Amino acid sequence: MTWRIMNGAHLKGTFSVLPLDPQHTRVQVRVEYDPATVKETFGSPKGFAQVGAIERLVRDDLRHLKDLAEDTR
């Protein structure tokens, strides 16, 4: 699947859901972004601070997805 964010930081990427066995699934995520736009949106200096902010957002969303998937079992 592919996705993109239109408001705020212009992020886009892909994710794959891969079954490992009947009880486990792997989710792989690839995120692409424009560093200048991310700097404007998050108000942080260039470099690791931006990457860290994006990583936290993606990890939080993945935790939410995991919680939703596990609640529906």
Domain positions in the chain are 2-71
* pTM for this model (two decimals): 0.56
Which residues of the chain fall below pLDDT 70? 6-10, 38-39, 41-50, 72-73
pLDDT of amino acid 33: 77
Burial class (CB in 10 A: 0-12, 13-18, 19+), 70: exposed
The predicted structure's pLDDT at residue 54? 75
Which pLDDT value is given to residue 58?
81
